[in-house]
Structure 1
Amino acid sequence: MTTEATLKLMQWLSPAYPVGAFAYSHGLEGAVSEGHVRDGDTLSDWLGDLLTHGGARSDALLLACAYRTETAESLAEIDDTARAFCPSAERLHETDLQGAAFCRTTAAIWDTALPSLTYPVAVGHAARLNDIALDLTLNMYLHAFLSNLVAAGQRLLSLGQTEAQQRLNACGPQLRRTVDAALSGTIDDLFGASFAADIASMRHETQYSRIFRS
């Protein structure tokens, strides 16, 4: 893979890329409000659960399936599955709006024709079209996913910059295991068992005071 392709992926997953990721907490704000996440230790537990059983794991698998698909029909089927798999209205809006913004921006800059897709499906399909390696795409996508939640944790908790980066760095081994599972998995391996995160995202919809959209 060329340096140009690597830099392209870095730009796509940069906080500066206009998908609005900073506006979403993936249910974390609801979890903090309810006391499930209180400090750095519980934030690390939360992130680990998302990588093992939750949205980070399912996103990685959906991205990999979208990357490997050969037809527009199968891509649409994977995207429909991604939408149906969202456990709450906010989580659906999160992946739908970020995906649409990613597709619009990528098409405008690189003239890459992309239909409106959910976020992980859009990234996987775009990486395939641009000859970007799936392994690298998964690693960087998950790192960006976790980085966004750690940044959200800094806004919601008493979490300093150094500790935040330590917590992010400690996710590395589990992140790699999640990548490996996605590389060897199929759509039949899609599952979710992070019920606390799912319920937190549902309750966040009616939370009185909110910083984030999810």
Structure 2
Amino acid sequence: MTTNRDILTLAQWLSPAFPVGAFAYSHGLEAAVRAGWVASGDDLAAWLADVIAHGSGRNDCILLRAGYEAEGPEALAEVNAIAKATAASGERQLEQVLQGAAFCKTTGAIWGAQGAEYLYPVAVGAAAAELRIDVTLTAAMYLHAVTSNLIAAAQRLMPLGQTEGQAVLFALAPLCEEVAQATAALGCDDLQSTAFLSDIAAMRHETLQPRIFRS
């Protein structure tokens, strides 16, 4: 049963203040803005909806659940290896490796979670399992936090006001919950991405100069 403490723990883990360095990554959005693929609030909402439902957002939920359900370090290591192998680009992989390592370091110091380092969604799933926090709630809040971070990145890249940015986040919140629930019966064999432009943008960012974000 979900408790208020579980919700507050997730809110802390997924807060912009949690030291995973999420502010440094745009997940390829910087390249998409530079190419003119995302130029307005409506463009951003459509772009993020595709990422959540058909791209890395959906995959992250599957990996988070796999990390949650893995029994023992060997199973977690296997899930982590799959997460590395299915990253759409080198920068996408680096993004998740570094954020995951930072997440594991902080949760280990405060909550006494396991010491091994895993990619970000796998790490969040494993930590939630250790504290017996509901996995669907964890996945939904994880997606919401990632979406919020990308909206914050967009506000540094394009003319997007605070109110419009929050309107985009509000509109996408139900989709975050929907995808979190829809991945309940899925496993690593179901990993895929049809958010092709998002993946191409992530690849383009690797050679983008000048740039603000690390991915």
Give the TM-score band, short-chain normalised.
Answer: over 0.9
Q: For 1:128 and 1:114, locate their aligned partners in 2 and report how far apart those are by CA, in whole Å.
A: 14
Q: For 1:187 and 1:91, locate their aligned partners in 2 and report how far apart those are by CA, in whole Å.
A: 18
Task: Encode CA deviations 1:66-104: one digit per residue, 9 max, x unaligned.
Answer: 111223222111100000011111101100000000001
Task: Say which SS state the counterpart of residue 17 (structure 1) adopts.
Answer: coil
Q: Which amino acid aligns with 2:86?
A: F
Deviation for aligned residue 1:12 = 0.6
Q: Name the structure 1 match of 2:166.
A: 165
Task: Say which SS state the counterpart of residue 207 (structure 2) adopts.
Answer: coil
The sequence identity of aligned pairs, in percent, is 52
Q: Name the structure 2 match of 1:126.
A: 127
Q: Name the structure 2 match of 1:88.
A: 89
Q: What is the TM-score normalised by the length of structure 1? A: 0.97
Q: Which amino acid aligns with 1:172?
A: A
Paired residues of 1:63 and 1:125 also in contact (CA < 8 A): yes
Moved more, 174-183 or 148-157: 174-183
Q: Name the structure 1 match of 2:24.
A: 23
Task: Say which SS state the counterpart of residue 184 (structure 2) adopts.
Answer: helix
Task: Encode CA deviations 1:109-140: one digit per residue, 9 max, x unaligned.
Answer: 12222311000000000000011111110111
Q: Name the structure 1 match of 2:200.
A: 199
Q: Name the structure 2 match of 1:99.
A: 100
* Aligned residue pairs, count: 214
1:179-194 maps to which residues of 2 (within 5 A)?
A: 179-194=180-195
Q: Which amino acid aligns with 1:70?
A: E
Q: For 1:207 and 1:183, locate their aligned partners in 2 and report how far apart those are by CA, in whole Å.
A: 37
Stretches (4+) displaced over 2 A: 1-6
Task: Say which SS state the counterpart of residue 148 (structure 2) adopts.
Answer: helix
Task: Say which SS state the counterpart of residue 183 (structure 2) adopts.
Answer: helix
Deviation for aligned residue 1:44 = 0.6
Q: Name the structure 2 match of 1:51.
A: 52
Structure 2, gaps ≥5 residues long: none
Deviation for aligned residue 1:173 = 2.6
Q: Which amino acid aligns with 1:45?
A: A
Q: For 2:108 and 2:71, locate their aligned partners in 1 and report how far apart those are by CA, in whole Å.
A: 20
Task: Say which SS state the counterpart of residue 86 (structure 1) adopts.
Answer: coil
Task: Say which SS state the counterpart of residue 183 (structure 1) adopts.
Answer: coil
Is 1:145 matched up with 2:146? yes
Q: What is the TM-score normalised by the length of structure 2? A: 0.96
Q: For 1:207 and 1:186, locate their aligned partners in 2 and report how far apart those are by CA, in whole Å.
A: 34
Q: Name the structure 2 match of 1:38.
A: 39
Q: Name the structure 2 match of 1:76.
A: 77
Task: Say which SS state the counterpart of residue 214 (structure 2) adopts.
Answer: coil
Q: Which amino acid aligns with 2:15?
A: S
Paired residues of 1:63 and 1:138 also in contact (CA < 8 A): yes
Task: Encode CA deviations 1:26-81: one digit per residue, 9 max, x unaligned.
Answer: 00001001111111011011001101211111001100111112232221111000
Q: Name the structure 2 match of 1:176.
A: 177
Structure 1, gaps ≥5 residues long: none
Q: For 2:205 and 2:3, locate their aligned partners in 1 and report how far apart those are by CA, in whole Å.
A: 42
Change (3 A) 1:144 1:191: same
Change (3 A) 1:114 1:6: farther
